[in-house]
A and B are shown apart, each in its own frame.
Chain A
Amino acid sequence: GAVVSQHPSWVICKSGTSVKIECRSLDFQATTMFWYRQFPKQSLMLMATSNEGSKATYEQGVEKDKFLINHASLTLSTLTVTSAHPEDSSFYICSASLAGGQETQYFGPGTRLLVL
């Protein structure tokens, strides 16, 4: 149980285009989803917390207009990287918490983004 999927698993795009990454909880409802960024050989950096039906809460230093997050249902959150640039190239990982106050986060397999 507690499976989280991400799509796509990797994407290459041209500078200036937008890329959407989907995060789905497959066998549970997630009131809260999280988006992380991980640089090579580094730890995970939280970008934003997404609650179903409300606006996402962004961490300090993360541009809200750059990284658009939508959490329209209890099983789906999306991250859109707008006007992507090479410096946005990274590994993006989502996670989800079970509804009902469970504290464990279950992670998706991640999405590798390369902006040319």
Chain B
Amino acid sequence: AQTVTQSQPEMSVQEAETVTLSCTYDTSESDYYLFWYKQPPSRQMILVIRQEAYKQQNATENRFSVNFQKAAKSFSLKISDSQLGDAAMYFCAYEEYEGGSEKLVFGKGTKLTVNP
């Protein structure tokens, strides 16, 4: 099974500033998907961004962007102009295919605090 590592249990950022959350993964596959999900205190999992491994261009969604380094198996999330509503647990996930269907493997998460 693949593994996903988030080395930062907690991070904090000042409102309006930029923060980067780290994620590394282990795989022998060449084609796969990577995701960042956000889980606010409501505990609803919200898709933040998705990256397809065969695409060299880094995915971007408004203030959220990734730095995808395939050779290094690194997939960091950058949040620009941080807002109070960005405070949440952030989970990095790798999608693997097993038993004929896709499965998400999650990291342990990074708790992001946004300071006013």
Contact = CB atoms under 8 A, between A and B. Distances in A.
B103 A46 contact: yes
Contact of B91 (A44, A49, A91, A95): A44
Given A104-B35, A104-B50, A44 B106 contact: yes
A110 B44 contact: yes
B102 A97 contact: yes
B25 to A, nearest CB: 14
Given A49-B101, A103-B33, A109 B43 contact: yes
* Size category, B interface: 20 to 34
A42 B44 contact: no
Interface of B is mostly: strand
Contact of B43 (A46, A95, A97, A110): A110
Interface of A is mostly: strand
Given A43-B91, A44-B91, A109 B42 contact: yes
B101 A95 contact: no
Given A44-B104, A109-B44, 14 more contacts: A32-B101, A38-B43, A43-B108, A43-B109, A44-B45, A44-B91, A49-B99, A49-B103, A57-B101, A93-B43, A104-B35, A105-B102, A109-B43, A110-B43
